[in-house]
Amino acid sequence: MHRRTFLQKTALSAAIVRVPAIAQQVRQSNRNSGGESLSRQFARWVAGLRYEDLPPAVIDRAKGLTLQTLSSVLLGYQSPAAREAIKLVTEEEGGARNGATIMVYGTKATKEGAAYANAEMALAGGKWDTFRMLTHPGTCIIPAAFAAAEAVAASGKEFITGLVAGYEVTERMSADFIPTVMARGFHAGPVFGIFGAAVAAAKIMRLNEDQINNAVALCANLAGGNIESGDLREGGSARNAMFAVLLARAGHRGGETALEGNAGFYNAYAGNNQGYLTYSFTGERKADLNKITANLGKDWMFLETLYRIYSIPGYNIAHIDVTAKLCEEHNITYADVDRVEAVVNWLETQYPSPAFPTRREDIGEPRRGDTRYYAAYGVVQRGFPMLPFANDPPEVLELMKRVTIVPSHDMGLFAPRITIFTKDGKSYTKQATGREFIWDFNEEERRIRPIVPGIFIQPKQYDQLIATCRDLEQQRRADNLVQLTVK
């Protein structure tokens, strides 16, 4: 299936298979193009990638995602998790001579420490990006990219190029494997995010092909993220990514087949290195590892990255905007509605994985924060608050009891089919495409601006941050953006 049409065509389906014995496996590296390992193919492409190779849409998306993540930092810096991270880093690693800046505070720490603290602030702010439901690449990649950019005084063009390379690598590595990795108890976000963060930082710090290859391989040793054990997620991966890059720059080597080898990354985190899947987004029982690097620089999986504009679980965002649009198109009000039905992909009803769901969206009493609640918001408010709030409209709490969620193996990711049944016996249906939260920089600016009352910097300074993101390729130093977050 062509990568650029995945969100329109994908159908969510389970595929449970038996994995062949290790004795029957062959070394995957020999099956890759030209006999080269996955990490080698990535490294060669990343090392040779130029800003001039990037399509305008790719450049535009990199700018928009940068603005999204920096906005999340500005919202998240006061959270308990962010304050804990900053206190730890400044006490243990503060004042590093060749370090990087902790956003908002403007203090210096080691590159690893700054990446960790900035990632924790980005996570706490809730304005993330999302790739295929369960990964949020920017919260890991962008903090590492800024730490690297500051270290070498990288230009805006260098920053964009590294950022795009990091996203493309992590999304190609994760695309088919996210549900399977989650079903094994790992959180796919940090497990795959470390690779993108390391690639972005390595590219920005001008590492050569061999060093990039080693950095990717070293990430196989440093990747992690367990669902059961708590909240050390993308922040830890951003930190470990910087460590991997610094080790590779110093000459530390990694295994050539660390990703696809018999004892490599995929065998460890997906359960095998043959591409067999426990759960699948597309209904396929097996992914082809050879296709992970196919058409690098031609087909941009990066363009599938969505904006999670509301600070809620990503699979719920369409239930707000698509339902709101349906009401707008047919002039439906809360008073008109008898009930609402949403047919959704089944994995979106069992978070984080059907292997051990901690949340069921389709059964039990409706509650604040579940899918039925957000669908009701779409009807009542035709939107959702961009900033934290105290009280819900009573109409939302009443209507969510009349919302039904129907799991389906035929719905695409983030693409529910919403039907509103009105009290006059009519019904109105709208099918989401899964692309409602993909937009250009101008739309990102429009959608993110309502956070201004909730951030500490003055509107004029935030305007300058937006303008700098928009003109990022013209910046002599990309880390000018870091300074624009400082109080």
Would you state the structure tokens that stand for residue 451, as one six-digit string?
Answer: 């956070």
| 252: pLDDT strictly greater than 80 | yes
In the three-class reduction of DSSP (H, G, I as helix; E, B as strand; rest coil), residue 110 is classed as coil
Mean pLDDT to the nearest integer, 77-103? 94
Q: Is residue 81 predicted with pLDDT exceeding 70?
A: yes
Q: What is the mean pLDDT of residues 52-69?
A: 98
pLDDT at 92: 95
pLDDT at 390: 87
Residue pair 143/238 in contact (Cβ under 8 Å)? The answer is yes
Give strand pairing partners of 108. Answer: 101
d(C-alpha 135, C-alpha 140), whole Å: 10
Inter-CA distances, 255 with 37, 262, 292, Å = 10, 12, 19
For 345-402, write each residue's pLDDT tens digit. 999 999 999 999 999 999 999 999 999 999 999 999 999 999 999 899 999 999 999 9
| Structure confidence at residue 283 (pLDDT) | 75
Mean pLDDT of the chain: 93
> Which has more pLDDT, 155 or 283?
155
Residue 13, strand partner residues: 280
| pTM, full prediction | 0.93
Q: Is the pLDDT of residue 12 over 70?
A: no
pLDDT band at 2 (very low <50, low <70, confident <90, very high): very low
pLDDT number for residue 22: 35
User: Would the pLDDT of 34 be above 90?
Assistant: no
pLDDT band at 30 (very low <50, low <70, confident <90, very high): very low
State which amino acid sits at residue 69.
Answer: T
Set out the domains of the chain in order of their start, with CATH numbers: 3-308 (1.10.4100.10), 315-431 (3.30.1330.120)
pLDDT of res. 300: 98
In the predicted model, is pLDDT for residue 221 greater than 50?
yes
User: How far is Cα 178 from Cα 199, in angstroms, rounded to an integer?
Assistant: 19
* Section 107-136 average pLDDT: 97
Return the percentage of the chain with pLDDT > 90, whole number: 89
Residue 70 has pLDDT above 70, yes or no: yes
- Determine the average pLDDT of the residues in 192-219: 98
Place of tokens 């080790």: 247
Average of per-residue pLDDT across 86-93: 95
Q: Do residues 307 and 129 lie in contact, with contact meaning Cβ atoms separated by under 8 Å?
A: yes
Pairwise CA distance, residues 317 & 128, whole Å = 12
Rounded mean pLDDT of 188-213?
98
CA angle (65, 67, 72) in 5-degree steps? 95
Predicted confidence (pLDDT) at residue 11 exceeds the cutoff of 70? no
Q: How would residue 6 be classed by pLDDT, with cut points 50, 70 and 90? A: low
pLDDT digit string, tens, across residues 436-482: 999 999 999 999 999 999 999 999 999 999 999 999 999 999 999 99
Looking at the predicted structure, is the pLDDT value of residue 338 above 70?
A: yes
pLDDT greater than 90 at residue 3: no
Position 337 pLDDT exceeds 90: yes
CA 216 to chain centre: 19
Confidence band of 267 (pLDDT split at 50, 70, 90): very high
DSSP secondary structure of 113-181: HHHHHHHHHHHHH--EEEBTTTB-THHHHHHHHHHHHHHHT--HHHHHHHHHHHHHHHHHHHTTTHHHH
Residue 222's Cβ-side half-sphere holds a number of Cα atoms within 13 Å equal to: 26
Q: By the 8 A CB rule, do 264 and 289 touch? A: no
* Weakest mean pLDDT among 85-99, 115-129, 423-437: 85-99
3-state secondary structure of 202: helix
Q: Assign residue 271 a region (left: φ > 0; alpha: ψ between -120 and 50; beta: otherwise).
A: left
What mean pLDDT do residues 161-175 have? 98
